[in-house]
Amino acid sequence: MNGQKVSYTMDSTLESVDSAEQAASRIATELGFAEEEIMQISMAVREAAVNAVLHGNAYDPGKKVIVEFDHTGGSLIITIKDQGKGLDPAKIPDPLAPENLMNTSGRGIFLIRSFMDDVTILPTANGTEIKLTKHVHGGAAGAKEASQ
Instruction: Write the pLDDT tens digit of every residue in 29-60.
Output: 999 999 999 999 999 999 999 999 998 999 99
Q: What is the CATH number of the domain that holds 79?
A: 3.30.565.10
Q: Could you give the dihedral angle defined by the CA atoms of residues 25, 81, 76 and 92, in that order, rounded to the nearest 10 degrees? A: -90
Domain membership flag for residue 13: yes
pLDDT at 144: 40
Domain membership flag for residue 148: no
pLDDT at 133: 98
Give residue 52's domain range: 5-142
- Sign, CA torsion 39/116/64/70: negative
Q: Where are the beta strands (DSSP E) in the chain?
A: 5-11, 64-71, 75-81, 118-124, 127-135
Domain membership flag for residue 131: yes
Residue of 76, 15, 24 whose CA lies nearest to 45: 24
DSSP SS3 for 64: strand
Task: Give the residue, 69 or 136, on which the prediction is more confident.
Answer: 69
Q: What does pTM read for this prediction?
A: 0.84
How many domains, the chain?
1
Cα 96–chain centre separation: 21
